[in-house]
Amino acid sequence: PKALWSRQTISYTYPNGVKLDNVTQCSLIFDIPAPMNPPVLFYYRLTDFYQNHRRYVKSFQPDQLRGVAVDSGTIDSSLCEPLRLDDRGRPYYPCGLIANSMFNDTYTSPVLQNVQGGNEQSKVYNMKNNSGIAWDSDKKLYGKTKYALNQIAVPPNWVERYGGRDYTEAHPPPDLENDQAFQVWMRTAGLPTFSKLAQRNDDDVMENGRYRVDINHLFPADIYGGTKSIIISTRTVIGGRNPYLGIAFVVVGGLCILLGAIFTATHLIKPRKLGDHTYLSWNNDQPSTATTTGREGGREGA
């Protein structure tokens, strides 16, 4: 059956306590046709978002991400342009285009509707959103910042999340060392359509049935003509479902078959004995060359 959806306007409170009014919440209702064994993986998917743009990919400062209190001069000469310093000369933390554009929609865990054989009307399928979603190699790139609060500024797209342009004791800078959602986002995608892991459950079977997920619309994909969607999948010993590699193999295989047919037809129509040494250039008569070099005359004189 086709998924159903509805939307409403709510007041949303960020995990750091900042409250935001007039947030659009989309409630998505969909069916899981068969039980899914763990691990069950919950991805968000974006289209037409070019994380692979050359300027975008380079727009970060690695030492700053590792926790070093990088000075304004170093940040100002870094690749974080155009988001290096604010108008007061304070470095953005974190600086650069990748961090500033971080995906920030939020999702509830899927809720099973109309539970059979029990008194409950619904059952939450709990998923973790900040554990096990980043690669171990990614985690090594981040550390707790050594900046003082008055040394740094909030990136422009994060101002709403932190209630102003400055970090405070009430709303301190993000702990990048443990913020796995941030680490996942900073690993840029190679194609404009991509999926990134947002939540997972490694222990429980996801029963078949009708589920509901509430999505708080905070990331404005519509302003650049992109789309957002979610994917719930699982994984086997050979990995998850990914059609792109299979498509690539089929395309390359098809090209090989086509080229093989062309070479076969060429050989049948105009055959040539392969490996025939008489085709070598120095085995052909070249009188003009012989006369010019004097080789022929030399042999006669001998």
Decide if pLDDT at 40 tops 70. Answer: yes
Residue 27: inside a domain, yes or no? Answer: yes
Dihedral sign, Cα of residue 162, residue 168, residue 169, residue 172: positive
How far apart (Å, rounded) are the C-alpha atoms in residues 234 and 220? 28
Question: Among residues 109, 112, 131, which one has the least CA distance to residue 120?
Answer: 112
DSSP string, 22-75: EEEEEEEEEEE-S-BPSPEEEEEEESS--TT-HHHHT---HHHHTT----HHHH
By residue range, what is the domain housing residue 9?
4-247
Question: Among residues 180, 278, 258, 191, which one has the least CA distance to residue 226?
Answer: 191
Residue 300: inside a domain, yes or no? Answer: no
Residue 269: inside a domain, yes or no? Answer: no
Omega before 15 cis (within 30°)? Answer: no
Residue with the larger pLDDT of the pair 118 and 46: 46
Residue 13: inside a domain, yes or no? Answer: yes
Residue with the larger pLDDT of the pair 247 and 103: 103
* Residue 189 main-chain phi, psi, to 5 deg: -85, 150
How far apart (Å, rounded) are the C-alpha atoms in residues 213 and 88? 42
Mean pLDDT in the chain?
Answer: 89
Residue 299: inside a domain, yes or no? Answer: no
Residue 272: inside a domain, yes or no? Answer: no
pLDDT tens track for 254-268: 999 999 999 999 888
CA angle in degrees (0–180, nearest 5) for 159-161-162: 65
How far apart (Å, rounded) are the C-alpha atoms in residues 36 and 184? 24
Helix (H) or strand (E) holding 199: strand 194-201
CA angle in degrees (0–180, nearest 5) for 120-126-130: 160
Decide if pLDDT at 119 tops 90. Answer: no
The answer to pTM > 0.95 is: no
For the residues 48-55, what does the mean pLDDT come to? 95
pLDDT tens track for 201-222: 999 999 999 999 999 999 999 9
How far apart (Å, rounded) are the C-alpha atoms in residues 45 and 158? 21
**Count of domains forming the chain:** 1
Decide if pLDDT at 94 tops 80. Answer: yes
Those residues whose C-beta lies under 8 Å from the C-beta of residue 161, and which sit 6 or more positions away, are: 14, 16, 18, 104
Q: How many helices (H) and strands (E) does the chain have?
A: 10, 10
The pair of three-digit structure tokens given for residue 10, joined into one six-digit string: 């709510």
Own/partner long-range contacts of 271-279 (Cβ < 8 Å, ≥24 apart): none
CA-CA-CA-CA torsion for 77, 81, 82, 86, nearest 10 degrees? -40
Q: State the number of CA atoms in the 13 A half-sphere of 13 facing the CB.
A: 3
Residue 88: inside a domain, yes or no? Answer: yes
Question: Among residues 110, 94, 109, which one has the least CA distance to residue 185?
Answer: 94
pLDDT tens track for 106-117: 999 999 998 776
Can you tell me which residue has the tokens 């990748």?
98
